[in-house]
A = this chain, B = another copy of it.
Amino acid sequence: MDVKTLCLGALALGDATGYEIKKMFEEGEFSHFLEASYGSIYPALTRLTEEELLTCTTEVQDGRPDKKIYSLTPKGRDALSNSLADPIADDKFRSEFLFVMLFAHFLPREAVSRLIDMKISKYREELDRLYDDDQALPTPGSKFVRRFGQAVFEASVDYLENNRHLIEDRRTAGRQKETAATPV
Contacts and interface: CB of A to CB of B under 8 A. Distances in A.
A138 to B, nearest CB: 9
Contact of A107 (B84, B105, B172): B84
Contacts of A101: 141, 144-145, 148
Interface in A54-85: 80-81, 84-85
Given A139-B105, A163-B144, A166-B143, A99 B6 contact: yes
Contacts of A81: 106-107
B151 A159 contact: yes
B173 A139 contact: yes
Nearest to A94: B92
Interface string A90-118: 11111111111111111100010001000
A46 interface: no
A102 to B, nearest CB: 4
Interface string A138-175: 01111111011001101110111001001100001100
List 6 A-B pairs, minimum CB-CB distance, nearest first.
Answer: A155-B155, A140-B172, A151-B159, A102-B141, A33-B95, A88-B96
26 contacts: A9-B102, A12-B103, A12-B106, A33-B94, A34-B94, A88-B115, A91-B95, A91-B97, A91-B122, A92-B94, A92-B95, A98-B148, A101-B144, A101-B148, A102-B142, A103-B139, A104-B144, A105-B139, A139-B173, A140-B173, A144-B163, A144-B166, A144-B167, A148-B160, A148-B163, A152-B156
